[in-house]
Structure 1
């Protein structure tokens, strides 16, 4: 069997997956809050063999349910911050180790973000950096609910902790922006990040201080950094090896669905080809743009219904349908059952 991270894109979970390296940190944080981590892992069928395999991944919905269960068990709604505080460079895999020996903190965080696909893949998007603004952004995962607040918290706090580790400084940020609305704990967040935190913002992001961005890292080692970057590049190529043009189209569609239907021209532009070339490449794979779009929506709709508590109106928006009625009609065409009835069936099954 191939390692999980080498599986073809089409065989992986439509909503995305995440390395058990991140799961181990979540379980450590839960245990630090008094939760029986072994029992929690067993409940989610995470064996010791799985948790000690660097290649193993679980689906994003399963990760969110695991985090939600941990929060319910310990009663700490800000468990995501605890996860970030306990995250070490090694806990984000090869990109973390490579980033740790980069020349500057700015280069370190850019390395971490550039190779994030090595440890996580989310259909919602990919994290990005804007070096000229010293900004690191996490894509939107709205609509927000009790199952995904902690994801934003854990990502932004883990990035912050990474910068603290590589720089040896505690005050590393100018500002934090969080998309979801305030939960009434603004002072706690500002105390943890040690800078202003804006809730209800347009993006999820951290702005790094100028002096920190350019600061030499504690473990700077140019030769080793270069060697580790080559390993990261090799793994990244391995992940993407075998992806068809159709796989690449499907990977781009989901983040663009929100409230609209992406056009062939938009996807072709993102792939750096003309619409005609894209159509020809897809035809050579015995598929087409409309077929891929319908298939992607079908896969995602089923997983939103089965794996999440997201409302039908929100799912309709996430899949680019004009209204819930359009989703309802498409869902019946795909599965010969209404989305509401299908969700009841899923809930009734073990």
Structure 2
């Protein structure tokens, strides 16, 4: 199944380059070695393909010999690195609101990132997964995101706040000193997802930089940017329509085309230009929503099936097993076991 190439904001790429340069590498040389256009970093609206960013990290690790080089992202803090999203975060009332905005606008920073903000009785957990295109996303890109987020929060609050725990999806490295020095909290490795957890007290405390008027203004800017960004791709528009129509039953191609004010033939051609099809997009949208819904413990499997537009729940069960190789009930049990392990560690 093929989808439009994922991209990363040049602003975030600039932060990565600045962090690598603090490690003694030359950003210009790295870009030249990889055949990348270094001038894109000076254009805040430019986008860089995800696979190029993967090769950049791989090259940096190869030259430095430091697999933990991504942790250096915590040394280069600037709101503009998050593009227009950074100022929205800065004007939020609390860190909780700031994280909620980061999740909402994550695709502006990088299309490959998948974030979810979960609430427990005593804490808030940000789960993170960065997806690759033809190349798997490197561990360093995840390390960089977690390190930068913590450093950004410390910069916003003026306090050296510490997480309750940080989780990594790879085995524990032999040398943990860089991790321990940065995070100053319990570390968990070989987890299903990358995550960082903060106490409710830290997350719900008022921020000195909070300004509701500015936050709304920055939300408007971020929303307009996201709209401009997404309107260039019919895939994203069609996915939004599918999410809206699915609870009413399986959407027909004509209904989606009408919502986008185009003919079914035009919709089919535009999706084909973006290396997908209506059926593929419908299948992938259902798959992504299924993962989200199964995290909601109060939702029954029957409710999820209907919300995904399946008139017959058995069709949902068959589709889910095709997607994940197991029934939805078993998948939910694994999610709950994973969450319990995180809470107990």
1:71 aligns with 2:50: no
In structure 2, distance between residues paired with 1:230 and 1:291: 32
Alpha-carbon distance in 2 for matches of 1:94, 1:14: 23
Match of 1:126, SS state, is: strand
Partner of 1:224: 214
Contact 2:124 2:203 survives alignment (8 Å): yes
Q: Which 5+ residue runs of structure 2 have no aligned equivalent? A: 258-262, 284-321, 326-345
| Residues 296 and 274 of structure 1, relative CA distance in 2, 3 Å threshold | closer
Report how far residue 210 of structure 1 moved.
Answer: 2.2
Change in Cα spacing, 1:217 to 1:172, as seen in structure 2 (3 Å) is farther
Larger deviation: 134-143 or 76-85? 134-143
Give me the whole-angstrom Cα distance separating, in 2, the residues matched to 1:140 and 1:116: 11
Q: Is the 8 A contact 1:29 1:86 kept in 2?
A: yes
Matches within 5 A, 1:220-299: 220-241=210-231, 243-244=233-234, 247=236, 272-281=246-255, 284-286=263-265, 287=268, 291-292=277-278
Alignment partners' CA distance in 1, 2:93 and 2:236: 35
SS at match of 1:83: helix
CA distance in 2 between counterparts of 1:278 and 1:294 reads 13
1:91 aligns with 2:81: yes
Structure 2 matches for 1:102-121, cutoff 5 A?
Answer: 102-121=92-111
Deviation digits for residues 56-84 of structure 1, max 9, x if unmatched? Answer: 11111110101111121122211110023
SS of equivalent to 2:101: helix
Contact 1:178–1:201 under 8 Å retained in 2: yes
The 8 Å contact of residues 14 and 41 in structure 2, kept in 1 or not, is answered as yes
Give the SS at the match of 1:139.
strand
Q: Is the 8 A contact 2:167 2:194 kept in 1?
A: yes
Post-superposition offset of 1:228: 0.9
Kindly indicate whether the alpha-carbon contact (under 8 Å) linking 1:167 and 1:212 is maintained by their aligned counterparts in 2.
no
Question: Do the aligned partners of 1:16 and 1:121 also contact (CA within 8 Å) in 2?
Answer: yes
Instruction: Give the distance between the partners of 2:149 and 2:155, measured in 1 at CA.
Output: 10
The answer (yes or no) to whether the contact 1:268–1:275 under 8 Å persists in 2 is no
| CA distance, structure 1, for counterparts of residue 136 and residue 225 of structure 2 | 34
* 2:147 aligned partner: 157
Q: CA deviation at 1:291?
A: 4.5
Partner of 2:117: 129
TM-score w.r.t. the length of structure 2 is 0.68
TM-score normalised by the chain length of structure 1: 0.67
Residue 153 of structure 2 aligns to a residue whose secondary structure is helix
Q: Secondary structure at the match of 1:102?
A: coil
Counterpart secondary structure, 1:216: coil
Check if 1:184 corresponds to 2:184.
no
Question: For 2:66 and 2:104, how far apart are their aligned partners in 1?
Answer: 31
User: Using the alignment, how far apart are the partners of 2:280 and 2:219 within structure 1?
Assistant: 38
Query: Are 1:213 and 2:203 matched, yes or no?
Result: yes
Q: RMSD across aligned C-alpha pairs, in angstroms?
A: 3.4
CA shift digits 1:89-147 (9 cap, x unpaired): 2211111111112111221222222111122112xx6212124541111126499x996
